[in-house]
Amino acid sequence: MEVIRAVAWSNDGAGVRILDQRELPEREVYRDLRTVDDVDEAIRTLAVRGAPAIGVAAAMGVTLAGGDGERSDDPTAKFARAVDRLGCARPTAVNLTWAMQRMSRVLVRRFSNANGLRQALVEEATRILDEDRAMCRRIGELGSTLIPERARVLTHCNTGALATAGIGTALAAVYVAAECGKHPHVYAGETRPLLQGSRLTAWELRRGGIDVTVLVDGAAASLMRDREIDLCIVGADRIAANGDVANKIGTYPLAIAAAHHGIPFYVAAPTTTFDPATRTGAEILIEQRGAGEVREGFGRVTAPADAEIYNPAFDVTPASLITAIVSDRDVHRAPYNFVGI
Ligand code: MRU
């Protein structure tokens, strides 16, 4: 299978190369980000997106601090500012916070000069990237055991190579099932308002030679009722200690519909998405995005200018609706307790 790299070092090693997801599926455009500002903007505007990928991109982005001519007597201070800045580029995915904590731990070590510090940060960011790739593979292997032959799999948003440094989380399970000759067929909810399902999931699955049907989000419940779906599998942006899951807006109604129709509902995520410090989903901060995404979807007027807009990027699915959570360590089943994970 062709490898898609959503985030990597640029060829000259002096930047972060991303596949600009705002352009897909029309154009496959790679951009080299050279400054912390570039990385911050790419994360905020979803040029790079998906919980694991933004953690990896931010970690790599920290190493670019000072490259735009910023002067500082204290080399540690400029990297610390980058950690603070990138750590709040988006609020819901805990992978971002986790990655910034990893980079911060390098900053408290002693170095004889600024180059030594930068080199140690580059090494840490590279470890974060490599670890994410390995976790994706493991999630795929564990998750694929839940996918029967010729399964019809409903998913939401994008949880594949485009959302991670590796082969994905929920989609990793599909990719490994396909490798094992199980011929899964994916039903991808389009995922309003930014269409990560239709623009990104369908694009990368077709690249991987996997059959995919795109549906409007509102069609999911009737598809389940008509017994066209064997299982649902989605990703996560933050998993609370009790197993409540924050993921792309529209995940919660899918889980309700799946429970109503007796269809298993799985979540797949690396351990970097688990947040034992958050006791329940009620404590998770949900990102609210701009009205323009709904009012002028992709350049057309799609709602009256004077209508109020409600545009949360994520929702919380209660643990009670989740059949199992696949991490890179295990297939976890209720009652969930991730305090010690
Ligand atoms: O707003 P996005 O596109 O970054 O949202 C992404 C999701 O909600 C994904 O489902 C989640 O990050 C898991 S990605 C492996």
pLDDT tens digits along 123-152: 999 999 999 999 999 999 999 999 999 999
Any atom of ligand 1 within 6 Å of the Cβ of 247 = yes
3-state secondary structure of 40: helix
User: Are the C-beta atoms of 37 and 69 separated by less than 8 Å?
Assistant: no
Sequence-distant (6+) residues with CB within 8 A of 284 are 92, 238, 240, 244, 246, 275, 278, 314, 316
Cα of 54 to ligand 1 centre, how many Å?
Answer: 9
| Ligand 1 lined by 191 (C-beta under 6 Å) | no
Ligand 1 neighbour 248 (Cβ under 6 A): yes
Output the 3-class SS for 70-112.
Answer: CCCCCHHHHHHHHHHHHHCCCCCCHHHHHHHHHHHHHHCCCCC
- Pocket test of ligand 1: the residue of 46, 49, 249 to mutate, having most ligand atoms within 8 Å of its CB, is 49
Burial class (CB in 10 A: 0-12, 13-18, 19+), 306: exposed
Query: pTM to 2 decimals?
Result: 0.97
> What's the CA gap between 71 and 39, in Å, rounded?
19
Q: Work out which ligand 1 atom sits closest to the CA atom of 234.
A: 10
Regarding the beta carbon of 164 and ligand 1, being less than 6 Å apart is answered yes
Peptide bond into 270 cis (omega under 30): no
DSSP secondary structure letter of residue 196? I
Separation in Å, CA 191 to CA 18, 197, 296:
22, 5, 16
Give the separation between CA 44 and CA 289, rounded to whole angstroms. 10
> What are the two backbone dihedrals, phi and then psi, of residue 261, each rounded to the nearest 5 degrees?
-100, 5
Give the position, in ligand 1's atom list, of the atom nearest the Cα of 247: 8
For the chain, which residues score pLDDT lower than 70? Answer: 68-73
Round to whole Å and give the CA distance between 59 and 320: 34
The catalytic residue positions are 237
The first and second tokens of residue 153, run together, are 């799999």
- Residue 201 beta carbon below 6 angstroms from any ligand 1 atom: no
Given ligand 1 and candidates 192, 247, 275, 285, which is best to mutate, with the most ligand atoms within 8 Å of its CB? 247
Query: What's the pLDDT at 71?
Result: 62
Instruction: Provide the 8-state DSSP code for 288.
Output: B
| Residue 337, C-beta contacts closer than 8 angstroms, at least 6 positions apart | 241, 242, 243
Q: Which residues pair with 188 in a beta bridge?
A: 155, 214
Ligand 1 pocket test, candidate residues 136, 158, 171, most atoms within 8 A of CB: 158
